[in-house]
Amino acid sequence: MARQLGNFIGEFLEYDALSLAKGWHQFLRIRVNLDVRNPIKRKKLISMARNQSVYALFPYEKLPLFCFLCGRLGHGESFCPVRLTLRDQQVAFGWDLSLRAIPRRGGQAMSKWLREAADDDNWSERAVEKEVRARRFGVEISN
């Protein structure tokens, strides 16, 4: 199944057997080579037993610059050939943020520029705690 889905998306390379062994049955992580000249795939209809069908949705990790208009990598909506061709006409986006997978390691952005204003007080406390803990273990910290 992993090889078939991988080849549907692009060129199958490998899958993460550990995620299945850990009981993560909602996801199957597959590594593929993508042809960036083609739109990325969003979903595939899979036939199940008893004449039932389900969609396999494809969230992507580590997506670089991506166009939500045409589905291709390497440019944004501002420089999309589709938008440039259609100019002032209304254009419907074919892709949305559900395409991005949730980061495996929590995904909490620690940059002060990416946080909400309410977190500013906690940020300085966490920085001090980190420095104190590091000094306790003889680790030197430099900015």
Residue 143 lies in a domain: yes
Q: How many domains does the chain have?
A: 1
- The answer to whether residue 70 sits within a structural domain is no
Minimal CA–CA distance to 70: which of 89, 91, 88, 87?
A: 91
- Answer whether residue 120 is part of any domain: yes
pLDDT computed for residue 124 by the predictor: 52
- In the predicted model, residues of the chain with pLDDT beneath 50 are 108-115, 119, 123, 132, 135-143
Residue 99: predicted pLDDT = 84
* Residue 130, domain member (yes or no): yes
Give tens-digit pLDDT for 8-31: 999 999 988 776 656 555 778 889
In the prediction, which pLDDT does 86 show? 80
Write down the pTM of the prediction. 0.59
Asked whether residue 90 is domain-assigned, the answer is no
What integer pLDDT is reported at residue 95 of this predicted model?
Answer: 83
Domain of residue 137, residue span: 108-143
